[in-house]
Amino acid sequence: MAKLLIGLGNIGKEYEKTVHNLGFIVVDNIADKLGVAIKKNVCNSFIGEANYKGEKIIIAKPTTYMNNSGIAVKSLVKKFDIDITKDLLIINDDIDLPRGVVRLREKGSAGTHNGLKSIVRELGTPEFARLKIGAGAPPSEFMDLADYVLSKIHFDKDIEVGIDKGETAGVMFLEGESYSNIMQKVN
């Protein structure tokens, strides 16, 4: 058995440090903290594997782009025989949460997030945990949503707090903490 931590985002220089790449930013920070190199290209993802505190862990960043994240997630779950209700955590941005607010949910709808919609569609269920990092709504009701999520993040105190809480939650998950314990710490 292994723990699978997946950050959602879009690959490529033009997408680095964008709102939609908050999931990538958090898992990159976790990988750096734990000394895990995310380099191998497996199952439409860049992954890093390690043994951490006696547990096999896989940290992944899908290369399928956000709207097709489910293709990579489904492949990784199958390849590593992951129990999606206990050993999978998806980290993603969420424009419906205020900047820096973090919410862990054990299951639920995909809401407006196309990456989560793809995962639900490919796995055939919403019964997997997701950690949502609040990015806040577009600054103007007239701004196109796609333009906003693909715009560069303004790294203020709120976003930094959200990233830090995301890192804490991700490490706790990899250490085998229960979802309820993680929720008490970061929600």
Dist. CA 40–CA 11, nearest whole Å: 14
Write phi, then psi, for 76 (nearest 5 degrees).
-65, -45
Q: Report the run of H or E that residue 56 belongs to, with start and end.
A: strand 55-62
Domain architecture of the chain: domains with CATH? 2-186 (3.40.50.1470)
To the nearest whole number, what is the mean pLDDT of the chain?
95
**Plot region of 136 (φ>0 → left; ψ -120 to 50 → alpha; else → beta):** left
What confidence tier does 8 reach under pLDDT thresholds 50, 70, 90? very high
Is a pLDDT exceeding 90 seen at residue 148?
no
Dist. CA 9–CA 110, nearest whole Å: 15
> What pLDDT, on a 0 to 100 scale, did the predictor assign at position 139?
80
Position with higher pLDDT, 16 vs 140: 16
Q: Which residues are catalytic?
A: 20
Comparing CA positions, the residue from 158, 157, 117, 105 lying closest to residue 136 is 158
Q: What is the DSSP letter of 107?
A: S
Average pLDDT over residues 150-166: 94
> What pLDDT, on a 0 to 100 scale, did the predictor assign at position 112?
81
> What pLDDT, on a 0 to 100 scale, did the predictor assign at position 142?
59
pLDDT-above-90 percentage for the chain: 88
Is a pLDDT exceeding 90 seen at residue 145?
no
pTM for the complete prediction?
0.95
pLDDT-above-70 percentage for the chain: 99
Kindly state the tokens that stand for 186. Answer: 């970061």
- Per-residue pLDDT tens digits for 83-141: 999 999 999 999 999 999 999 999 998 888 999 999 999 999 999 999 999 999 888 76
Amino acid identity of residue 177, one-letter, is: E
Catalogue the long-range contacts made by 80-83 (C-beta closer than 8 Å, 24 or more residues apart). 80/2, 80/4, 81/1, 81/2, 82/2, 82/4, 83/1
Farthest CA pair distance, the chain: 50
Comparing CA positions, the residue from 99, 118, 101 lying closest to residue 6 is 118
Residue 63's SS3 state is coil
